[in-house]
Structure formats: structure tokens, C-alpha cells
Amino acid sequence: MNAFPAGTRVFYWTSQGDVTYAVVQSSHRLADGTQILNLKVEGSNETATLPAAGVTKVS
């Protein structure tokens, strides 16, 4: 099951304590089962790759 399909809006906290909003572009799983998300940061051309456990779905 994919809890974060492409198009899902999420947020995460940066190491500086800022909230960053992003949209899931794609995801995959590592050999140990960790789900990795490829994100497009809203309002910029930046991307981020984070484990799904590090983001929160925006409701």
C-alpha cells in the first residue's frame, strides 16, 4: 500500500525549524521496506528526497 501516491500534498520540518510544503512526485521502497518520496517543493524549483516517515500529509 502506498500512503503517499503522486500528487499528495505534504509538509516537513527543515533542520532550521521551518515548515516546507511539497507535492509527492514519485515514491519507491528500499530493500528494507523504507518508503522514499521524491518531492517537488512548492513555490520553488527545488526537489527533496525524504523517507515517508519524515513527512506529514496535508489534510
Boundaries of every domain in the chain: 9-57
Whole-number pLDDT of residue 26: 98
Query: Is the overall model pTM greater than 0.85, yes or no?
Result: yes
For 9-57, CATH number out of 2.30.30, 3.40.1130, 1.20.1530, 1.10.15 equals 2.30.30
Whole-number pLDDT of residue 10: 98
User: Model confidence over 3-59: pLDDT tens digits?
Assistant: 999 999 999 999 999 999 999 999 999 999 999 999 999 999 999 999 999 999 998
Whole-number pLDDT of residue 2: 86
Task: Name the nearest CA neighbour of 3 among 37, 32, 31.
Answer: 37
Whole-number pLDDT of residue 20: 98
CA 13 to chain centre: 11
